[in-house]
Chains A and B, each alone.
Chain A
Amino acid sequence: MQMVRPTTWPAALDAIAAEPGLLPISGGTDVMVDVNFDRERPTGLLDLTRVPELADWSRDGDLLRVGANVTYARIIDELAALLPGLAMASRTVGSPQIRNRGTVGGNLGSASPAGDAHPPLLAGLAEVEVESVRGSRRIPIDEFFVGVKRSDLAPDELIAAFHAPVAPGPQQFAKIGTRNAMVIAVASFAIELDGAAHRVGTGIGSAAATPRRAADAETFLAGEITERAAWDSPTPLPDAVVQRFGELVAAAASPIDDVRGTAAYRRRALSVLARRTLGWCWADLDGRQCA
């Protein structure tokens, strides 16, 4: 198997254009498992770890651009205040060793329905910046995932970065696993409350063929909050509203029975996580208003 090791971004784009069968690799925490199991037999690996353009994140006003090679460990250390939902999700990824190697760019590249980074990116309306020798484009996150482990990425495109607004309000992430660490999500959920835009963001993981938003739940909850004029003075939400939000989140999922859990359990868990994370965000929103 050949190993292509570009040291600049243009060289990486040239390499994938010349040989679209190359499998991009960064942390290798997902790719190497498939290669070692002989499930994946790429013609070669495109090692992106030496490409400096992918290694950093930057901030432009309220917008963040996070390079594809930024690891979970760095997101936890450097971005916890700016992207708390993603940082919380990053803390649930694998073990410390995996978090030191694994990247959000790689998570997007694999496009697994269970990818821990995906729900907070969905809730936060991120965009994925992809590029090829043909040019660069930005894919809205909820158009990025097109099937089980399939994304909108063209064969000659590479993921450069994701763009996301600095958290405009409280963000939360919670996941279910059947042990207390180092576990793949049985189901996961992310939420964001944007007090300025009067918007609710959500993301569901491991409960459909792709990560997805719970659009009806978002609209319902944003409407209820707006109706109560509660964005600026967050009085406690009625139980019925919280309950309904949970139901709508569960209804947005299309889970299956598999080795990690049943569909019925996943729906139940999602509604519980939706209610709980909403409660934590709401308390946070309340705290911010009081402060």
Chain B
Amino acid sequence: MTVPTRAPDRLSSPISAGVGESAVRPDGTLKVTGEFAYSSDLWMDGMLWGATLRSPHAYARIVHLDTTRALAATGVFAVLTHEDVPGRNAYGLEHKDQPVLASDVVRYQGEPVAIVAADHPQTARRAVALIDVEYDLLDPVVDPSTALDEATPRLHPDGNLVRHVRIRKGNDAVQADVVVTADYEVGMQDQAFLGPESGLAVPAEDGSVDLFVATQWLHVDRGQIAPALGLDEDQVRITLSGVGGAFGAREDLSMQVHACMLALRTRRPVKVVYSREESFFGHVHRHPARMHYEHGADRDGRLVYVKAEIILDGGAYASSTPAVVANAATLGSGPYAVDNVTIDSYGVYTNNPPCGAMRGFGAVQAAFGYESQMDRLAEAVGIDPVEIRVRNGLAEGGTTAAGQVIDSAAPVAELVRWVHDLPMPPPSSGDLRSMPGGVSNSTHGEGVVRGVGYGVGIKNICFSEGFDDYSTARVRLELVAGEPVASVHTSAVEVGQGLVTLLAQIARTELGVQQVTIEPADTSVGSAGSTSASRQTYVTGGAVQAVCQQVRKRLLERRPGYVGSPGDMPLRELLVDGPVEETVEWRHRPTTPLDPETGQGSPHVQLAFAAHRAVVDVDTELGLVKVVALDCAQDVGRAMNPQAVVGQIHGGSAQGLGLAVMEEIQVVDGLLRNPSFTDYLIPTILDMPPMQVEVLELADPHAPYGLRGVGEPPTISSTPAIVAAIRAATGLELTRIPVRPEHLTGT
């Protein structure tokens, strides 16, 4: 096959550094200078452009579908509908409930109905508008609270329940002296990655297909694409292309099957790039949540019980809702020691946009509930927010809501104390950029009140509930121009987090080699699992460590009796006889499913914790918020690359800030009101304060290098900390996020 231009290249960094050092990213300069090849840059001579017709309705029956006019348009090469899906017209991460192209019914606004290939992207888009579809409108199911009622129409054959997880830990009839109860709501957040869904499918002579695409898990994509195309898995070859952010939104398929269908039909390469607006319809979002929480404690504020009902709106298709429901349940009492936990967590189908994976994955929603409750409890018993968290914080040896014994560090009290003890920010300087409203010049200090709040979060690292979670790594060590070079080949996806940097660091440390090349990720090597659940450093990092050790062993077999350290191995001498190549499939320790009645078990591989202290200035008359400080303490087990660790904490905290005060996809009657970056606002540099970050390294003896997943915990705790600070400034209850000016001004 001819390889497209702007396809991914090998990466190597001129500056070598091993584990524990802040190695420079091999793709960093390319990205900063605009040279990095993202999937939207892929190009092949003679390629066609794909475009997608999407449902404008949240719920409707397709009465009539006619592609005649579109097919007749000049420059159009193919117009395909559900009738053209070569294999099974269904895919999905956990349930195959989502059609590649809708056949009789559309269940959400934006659901793909037909696809077009044309010689120009604009021609393709305009041909989409020439497809005639007649819909019979149905009443959409948009309220997740009533989705399970008998009277509500069933959107799928088995009804509207995707999953219900029950947690029954201890005694659910126990009484407490102090009880606080409230309802909370979380709006629909978007991952808002910058690189829209895009890829290029190239048909082969033998009917197979090569797909270049930005995604999160090549092999699970392939496992869904091949059956839809009616091909064997080995007839679909996927190469990862430059990913412009993911945050969970690329776990589900978007344009993959469509581009392949068009390429196989037209026998031409087909490229698909979503527009920004289309992107909002083309990927899943964070589940909105409605939560009822009841916390019981003794008069000292020690938790006696936690009860909760959590309803997560999964939207039209299941996506990863089942796992999100389990996270919200098993992490639903937070990073606190409590003997009695009763939680019912539900994921439901509605005709709202499908919701699935996003950084924090069920733990974010629950954290807003339980952290708000901890503040209420502190107030009810008359202690401060730090003390309530210190008194109840989990520690090693404690048990989670699922009854899992924590067998490595769980320094909740320490993390809270760390952020509490950091220096407070100075009073406002009067510079407009430091004011609520910023350069919009809405206050010079009038109405501004400062508040301080705390938040702590808990997150499972790696895949849970007995999932066979593994990664495959291949390493080849050889002499190139007389110098030893290691090439590392995995299918693990770099989404911007720095995995490519880290894998090279591990190879250098384990093999004592200076030059390391990272091969493009593709399906010619075994699965690496998903770039999700803060797991790649742990699992693919573990796989690369293991395969390097295997390579070392092979190498040393060439010189029996060698007893030096890996760094001192005489590589040149040992490699004269030829290269060494090894492949290893590496697994973390197993987990168990949840007991279906009690939700008890050992579902999680590892738990990670972060704490935030937020300081906000609120313009109480205008309801505008400036987050003045957002400081974080997090245990990362081992800072494999300290700069990358702090970068993850900065980024995760900013994403949590967005959810606290601005980020929401507004959905009314199943229809999106703000599918653009004009109206879906994410924080700018003037919204995000400089951070003080404390990184703790309390090694986890069960994990490679003692490391603990880093990416998600800071997203979880920053949101409740900020909302707590706004409450402290305003005295308002604020039970819904994001907090809007209307909530703060009663308008």
Interface residues of A (CB under 8 A from B): 36-38, 88, 91-92, 172-186, 259-262, 264-265, 267-269, 272-273, 276, 279-280
Partner of B745, one of A38, A174, A268: A268
- Is the CB of B683 closer than 8 A to any CB of chain A? yes
| Chain B residues whose C-beta falls within 8 Å of the C-beta of A37 in the assembled complex | 275, 277
| Chain A residues whose C-beta falls within 8 Å of the C-beta of B90 in the assembled complex | none
A265 CB to closest chain B CB, in angstroms? 4
Chain B: which residue is nearest A283 at the CB level? Answer: B444
- Is the CB of B206 closer than 8 A to any CB of chain A? no
- Is the CB of B139 closer than 8 A to any CB of chain A? no
- Is the CB of B673 closer than 8 A to any CB of chain A? yes
The complex places the Cα of A172 from the Cα of B436 at a distance, in Å, of 18
| Chain A residues whose C-beta falls within 8 Å of the C-beta of B662 in the assembled complex | 178-179
B379 CB to closest chain A CB, in angstroms? 28
Which of A184, A186, A269 has the most B CB atoms < 10 Å from its CB? A269
Chain A: which residue is nearest B684 at the CB level? Answer: A181
The complex places the Cα of A272 from the Cα of B713 at a distance, in Å, of 39
B319 CB to closest chain A CB, in angstroms? 25
| Chain A residues whose C-beta falls within 8 Å of the C-beta of B679 in the assembled complex | 184, 259-260
Given A176-B440, A176-B624, A180-B437: A276 touches B446 (CB 8 Å cut-off): yes
- Is the CB of B442 closer than 8 A to any CB of chain A? yes
Contact (Cβ within 8 A) A276 B684: no
Contact (Cβ within 8 A) B441 A88: yes
Which of B440, B666, B673 has the most A CB atoms < 10 Å from its CB? B440
Partner of A180, one of B438, B622, B623, B740: B438
Which of A175, A181, A264, A267 has the most B CB atoms < 10 Å from its CB? A181
| Chain A residues whose C-beta falls within 8 Å of the C-beta of B745 in the assembled complex | 265, 268
Which residues of chain B in 400-444 are interfacial with respect to chain A, using CB atoms and an 8 Å cutoff? 433, 436-444
Partner of B683, one of A38, A179, A276: A179
Q: 12 interchain pairs (CB within 8 A)?
A: A92-B440, A172-B441, A175-B440, A178-B661, A178-B740, A180-B438, A180-B440, A180-B684, A180-B686, A181-B438, A265-B747, A276-B443
- Is the CB of B6 closer than 8 A to any CB of chain A? no
Partner of B666, one of A91, A92, A259, A280: A259
The complex places the Cα of A233 from the Cα of B275 at a distance, in Å, of 58
Which residues of chain B in 670-694 are interfacial with respect to chain A, using CB atoms and an 8 Å cutoff? 673-674, 678-679, 681, 683-687
When each residue 431-473 of chain B gets 1 if its CB lies under 8 Å from chain A and 0 otherwise, what string results? 0010011111111101100000000000000000000000000
Top 4 A-B pairs, shortest CB-CB distance: A180-B438, A265-B747, A264-B747, A181-B686
- Is the CB of B626 closer than 8 A to any CB of chain A? yes
- Is the CB of B741 closer than 8 A to any CB of chain A? yes
| Chain A residues whose C-beta falls within 8 Å of the C-beta of B439 in the assembled complex | 91-92, 180-181
In addition to A175-B441, A185-B440, 8 A-B residue pairs with Cβ atoms within 8 Å of each other are: A92-B441, A176-B741, A179-B686, A180-B436, A180-B437, A181-B439, A183-B440, A265-B747
A40 CB to closest chain B CB, in angstroms? 13
Contact (Cβ within 8 A) B747 A268: yes
Chain A: which residue is nearest B122 at the CB level? Answer: A38
- Is the CB of B742 closer than 8 A to any CB of chain A? yes
- Is the CB of B66 closer than 8 A to any CB of chain A? no
Contact (Cβ within 8 A) B673 A179: no
Which of A177, A186, A264, A279 has the most B CB atoms < 10 Å from its CB? A177
Partner of B442, one of A91, A176, A262: A176
Contact (Cβ within 8 A) A180 B742: no
Contact (Cβ within 8 A) B742 A176: no
| Chain B residues whose C-beta falls within 8 Å of the C-beta of A179 in the assembled complex | 438, 661-662, 681, 683-684, 686-687
Contact (Cβ within 8 A) A261 B446: no
The complex places the Cα of A88 from the Cα of B439 at a distance, in Å, of 9
Interface size class on chain B is: 35 or more
Given A38-B125, A261-B742, A265-B742: A176 touches B444 (CB 8 Å cut-off): no
Contact (Cβ within 8 A) A273 B687: no
Contact (Cβ within 8 A) B741 A261: yes
| Chain A residues whose C-beta falls within 8 Å of the C-beta of B122 in the assembled complex | 38
B374 CB to closest chain A CB, in angstroms? 28
| Chain B residues whose C-beta falls within 8 Å of the C-beta of A276 in the assembled complex | 442-444, 446
The complex places the Cα of A129 from the Cα of B626 at a distance, in Å, of 40
| Chain A residues whose C-beta falls within 8 Å of the C-beta of B623 in the assembled complex | 265
Given A92-B439, A175-B442: A259 touches B674 (CB 8 Å cut-off): yes
A260 CB to closest chain B CB, in angstroms? 7
- Is the CB of B9 closer than 8 A to any CB of chain A? no
- Is the CB of B621 closer than 8 A to any CB of chain A? yes
| Chain A residues whose C-beta falls within 8 Å of the C-beta of B437 in the assembled complex | 174, 176-177, 180
| Chain A residues whose C-beta falls within 8 Å of the C-beta of B446 in the assembled complex | 276, 279
B76 CB to closest chain A CB, in angstroms? 16
Partner of B626, one of A36, A91, A92, A180: A180
The complex places the Cα of A269 from the Cα of B741 at a distance, in Å, of 10
Chain B: which residue is nearest A95 at the CB level? Answer: B684
| Chain A residues whose C-beta falls within 8 Å of the C-beta of B681 in the assembled complex | 178-179, 183
Chain B: which residue is nearest A267 at the CB level? Answer: B747
| Chain A residues whose C-beta falls within 8 Å of the C-beta of B741 in the assembled complex | 176, 178, 186, 261, 265, 269
The complex places the Cα of A285 from the Cα of B607 at a distance, in Å, of 61
Contact (Cβ within 8 A) A273 B747: no
Which residues of chain B in 701-747 are interfacial with respect to chain A, using CB atoms and an 8 Å cutoff? 740-742, 745, 747
Contact (Cβ within 8 A) A273 B442: yes
Which residues of chain B in 302-360 are interfacial with respect to chain A, using CB atoms and an 8 Å cutoff? none
A115 CB to closest chain B CB, in angstroms? 14
| Chain A residues whose C-beta falls within 8 Å of the C-beta of B436 in the assembled complex | 180
A178 CB to closest chain B CB, in angstroms? 5
| Chain A residues whose C-beta falls within 8 Å of the C-beta of B440 in the assembled complex | 92, 174-177, 180-181, 183, 185
The complex places the Cα of A272 from the Cα of B442 at a distance, in Å, of 9
B53 CB to closest chain A CB, in angstroms? 14
The complex places the Cα of A212 from the Cα of B578 at a distance, in Å, of 80
A80 CB to closest chain B CB, in angstroms? 13
Chain B: which residue is nearest A188 at the CB level? Answer: B440
The complex places the Cα of A260 from the Cα of B666 at a distance, in Å, of 10
A107 CB to closest chain B CB, in angstroms? 16
Given A175-B441, A265-B623, A272-B622: A180 touches B674 (CB 8 Å cut-off): no
A123 CB to closest chain B CB, in angstroms? 14
The complex places the Cα of A260 from the Cα of B680 at a distance, in Å, of 10
The complex places the Cα of A184 from the Cα of B277 at a distance, in Å, of 17
Given A261-B741, A261-B742, A268-B745: A174 touches B441 (CB 8 Å cut-off): yes
| Chain A residues whose C-beta falls within 8 Å of the C-beta of B678 in the assembled complex | 184
